[in-house]
A and B are shown apart, each in its own frame.
Chain A
């Protein structure tokens, strides 16, 4: 256990230089273009006031000094001001992050368990029609651009069938349940969780229904990946001696598959899963744009298009943190499962 603790501490400390490097890269990049002071200037200001703003925010200093002040601000909770959104960066992150996490977690669960199920079936029924169908899905799902799939789903389920529209909730529900019309309290920003806390079934159902299409869209690519990894890992395990032994001693096939084969085949899938969870947050940008999902990605895209300096930095930093932390969690889980990792050097 001691080795594990040491491993965890070393890995957590190891993320600090990575995050620092991320801020350095993005900071110097954003300082190459435009005027960062523009976020604070309004048309009513005169030259004297603009000069004063540049002084307050250290925009006249050399860039390394500016970076130093930016980092000081980060630690103090002042992440700058998002011009495109009209609110401080940290406030924007707090209000947008829950929607993105909700989407990413739903997509993750879908792709992880869906991929495991498909991969298992495909391996067990090798070379049967269902295997061919699954392999075709695995290849096709990867090649389908998320934004294209999302628009197709919206076309079918919104334009044609009128079942569910874009956004996180229907307008009717928002008008009826949220202030001033209703008494819905947002505690966390996670709508599913908040509706449970409010005891509000109507919001829960509406939020869940709205989550389905974006989650499928975001999950498709990674589900294809999990399916592929699971299938090949399962095929590998099914050929091992212990599976043959289990069969030879007369165990039922379903028990052999569930207890002996699948459990061992899960290890490589878990590794892949952690790596792509971080990626999901990045790819959420496209899905959020398609589904008008009020999340981090849509804000980040707008920031990139309007060269909103502080927002680009804040966005990259938050996504980077989620990315790095999810990699870290997997590595730690892996070290916990497999002692060889923590004894050897990272």
Chain B
């Protein structure tokens, strides 16, 4: 495509790729420069990186429970004990080590966040992309279904589904994915409709590029931006909602290192003055959600030229 008339330019596939990558790298460098000036975004990045580090280093930070690393090991003291040198965050009901739960709970939270967001993202991408690109009857059916799910109370529907499927983290993710994808689908459809009529897509079509290539090379990469911003923020929000369902008792099995469940276990003890049973897992959820939100928020500001100052 890039050849000038009369000049034979032999561009190998690799050359084209290298140029494209170079251009993208420049863009990334530019955004990184902008990002460095956003203190809240940087704070978010630090928090997020810290949590990923904790998740990766979990076996070093808290030696894994030989029975199952995601079950919190128990001591013999069933009465919650305040933070001490042996148990830095104190112990919870049934003698659970709260520090262990917070550390290994990070892995569970990251797993919930990434699986749930990836599922919603993929379903939303396909449903929204297909309806935006094809239009017609397929679009009206798919969008009718999307609207239906959006007009139902998501939390309550997820509660019912999680209750029916049974108590496990996988089922919790499934129940939440069922109510989470529609917003992705709706945004993807809007973006696809916008991109579909852009000049470069028309040009590609006029050049006889196959539909599949148009969709995957031109439409998807250009429509996906807003979805990625929402996904970043949702990595926090999903954990907020999942921990709420876990708090109700519709998530992880008892004894699991899951933050919402730990708070639920500690809720009678905090009223008895044992604040650490709730405070540490609560702070973990709070900072996890805050980190992703700060990050997502500043990425959105970055991509929106109107908000640049």
Contact = CB atoms under 8 A, between A and B. Distances in A.
Interface of A: 17-18, 21-22, 25-26, 29-30, 32-33, 139-140, 142-148, 151-152, 154-155, 158-159, 278-279, 281-283, 285-286, 289-290, 300-301, 304-305, 307, 312, 315-316, 319-320, 323-324, 327
A320 B159 CA distance: 13
Interface stretch (B24-32, B146-154, B220-228): B146-154
A279 B155 contact: yes
Contacts of A281: 153
Contacts of B127: none
Nearest to B289: A143
Nearest to B281: A148
B267 A146 contact: no
B285 interface: yes
A96 to B, nearest CB: 14
Secondary structure dominating the interface of B: helix
A151 B270 contact: yes
A145 B250 CA distance: 16
Contacts of A30: 160, 164
Contacts of A327: 151
Contacts of B290: 139-140, 143
Complex A-B, nearest 8 residue pairs according to Cβ-Cβ distance, in ascending order: A148-B282, A282-B155, A304-B163, A143-B289, A143-B290, A323-B153, A319-B156, A29-B164
A312 B160 contact: yes
B278 A148 contact: yes
A316 B148 contact: no
A55 B261 CA distance: 41
B164 to A, nearest CB: 5
Contact of B160 (A29, A145, A154): A29
Given A159-B273, A285-B248, A305-B249, 20 more contacts: A17-B148, A139-B40, A143-B236, A143-B293, A145-B243, A146-B244, A147-B244, A148-B263, A148-B278, A148-B285, A148-B286, A152-B282, A279-B155, A289-B247, A290-B267, A305-B250, A312-B160, A316-B156, A323-B153, A327-B151
Contact of A307 (B152, B163, B247, B297): B163
Interface residues of B, number: 43
B113 interface: no
B15 interface: no
B164 A289 contact: no
Contact of A301 (B161, B164, B249, B273): B249
B294 interface: yes
A286 B154 CA distance: 15
A226 B124 CA distance: 27
A145 B282 contact: yes
A301 to B, nearest CB: 5
26 contacts: A18-B151, A18-B152, A25-B157, A29-B160, A30-B160, A32-B164, A139-B290, A139-B293, A140-B290, A142-B289, A143-B287, A143-B290, A145-B247, A147-B244, A147-B247, A147-B260, A151-B263, A283-B244, A285-B248, A286-B248, A301-B249, A304-B248, A305-B249, A323-B152, A323-B153, A324-B151
